[in-house]
Amino acid sequence: MMLMNSAHGCGATIDFEFLNPIAGQVVEIDWNGSRISEIKSAQNEWVRRSFEVNLQRGSNQLSFRYADWNGRLDRFSTQDSRPMAVRFHAVERSRNQGTLSYLL
């Protein structure tokens, strides 16, 4: 989950990229509690998406939910016991006044 604060409401674009290490992974994406996408991807596939969203004044929430993670149904890393689901490369939020990047 990522929280983004806005001084006033406006349109914005959310761009992100991640690598999926799990066969048959499903990632659900919610913006402020509403589902904006469900992504099904193949193992070791890079996923890149861009979404237009409305920033509301105050706090805004971007959530990712995963069907599987390391050690739940599949174990893609036997050396690492952390419950990893995907590997994010970048998340960016753009609006009229520039870009805020989260490089992960």
Q: Cα(78)–Cα(70) distance, rounded to whole angstroms?
A: 9
Q: Cα(71)–Cα(88) distance, rounded to whole angstroms?
A: 19
Residue 98 has what pLDDT?
A: 46
Domain boundaries, the chain: 2-103
Q: Is 1 exposed, middle or buried (0-12, 13-18, 19+ CB in 10 A)?
A: exposed
Q: For domain 2-103, which architecture applies?
A: Sandwich (2.60)
Q: Is 55 exposed, middle or buried (0-12, 13-18, 19+ CB in 10 A)?
A: buried
* pLDDT tens-digit readout, 26-76: 999 999 999 999 999 999 999 999 999 998 888 899 999 999 888 888 788
pTM: 0.78
Looking at the predicted structure, is the pLDDT value of residue 97 above 80?
no
